[in-house]
Amino acid sequence: MITVSELVKGLEAFAPLDLACSWDNSGLQVGWKNAPVEKVLVALDPFEDTIREAISLGAQMLVTHHPLLFTPAKQITDDTAVGRSIALLMEHHISLWSGHTNVDIAQGGVNDVLAERLGLRDVRPLPPENLLRIGTVKEQTLEDFLRTVKQWLGCPGLRYVDAGRTCKKIAVGGGACGSELELAVEAGCDTFVTGDVKYNQFRDSLDSGMNLIDAGHFWTENPVCTALAAKLQSAFPDLVVQISEKQGDCMKFF
DSSP 166-201: -EEEEEE-SSS-GGGHHHHHHTT-SEEEESS--HHH
In CATH, the number for domain 107-220 is 3.40.1390.30
In tens, the pLDDT along 215-243 reads 999 999 999 999 999 999 999 999 999 99
pLDDT band per the 50, 70, 90 thresholds, residue 96: very high
Instruction: Name, in order, each residue with C-beta under 8 angstroms of 23's C-beta and a sequence gap of 6 or more.
Output: none
Distance CA 43, CA 29 (A): 15
pLDDT surpasses 90 at 7? yes
Residue 71's pLDDT is 82
Kindly state the average pLDDT of the residues 157-165: 97
Instruction: Count CA atoms within 13 Å of residue 39 on its CB side.
Output: 13
Instruction: Name, in order, each residue with C-beta under 8 angstroms of 149's C-beta and a sequence gap of 6 or more.
Output: 118, 155, 158, 193, 213, 215
Instruction: Count CA atoms within 13 Å of residue 253 on its CB side.
Output: 7
pLDDT band per the 50, 70, 90 thresholds, residue 253: confident
3-state secondary structure of 100: coil
Residues of the chain with CATH 3.40.1390.30: 2-104, 107-220
In tens, the pLDDT along 114-128 reads 999 999 999 999 999
pLDDT surpasses 90 at 57? yes
Instruction: Name, in order, each residue with C-beta under 8 angstroms of 71's C-beta and a sequence gap of 6 or more.
Output: none
Distance CA 210, CA 57 (A): 46
pLDDT band per the 50, 70, 90 thresholds, residue 72: confident
Please give the single-letter amino acid code of residue 74. Answer: K
DSSP H/E element including 96: strand 95-98
pLDDT surpasses 90 at 73? no
In tens, the pLDDT along 127-156 reads 998 999 999 999 999 999 999 999 999 999
pLDDT band per the 50, 70, 90 thresholds, residue 254: confident
Kindly state the average pLDDT of the residues 32-61: 97
CATH architecture label of 2-104: 3-Layer(aba) Sandwich (3.40)
- What sections of 35-170 are H helices per DSSP? 48-57, 81-91, 101-105, 110-117, 142-153
Residue 235's pLDDT is 96
Please give the single-letter amino acid code of residue 231. Answer: K
In tens, the pLDDT along 197-219 reads 999 999 999 999 999 999 999 99
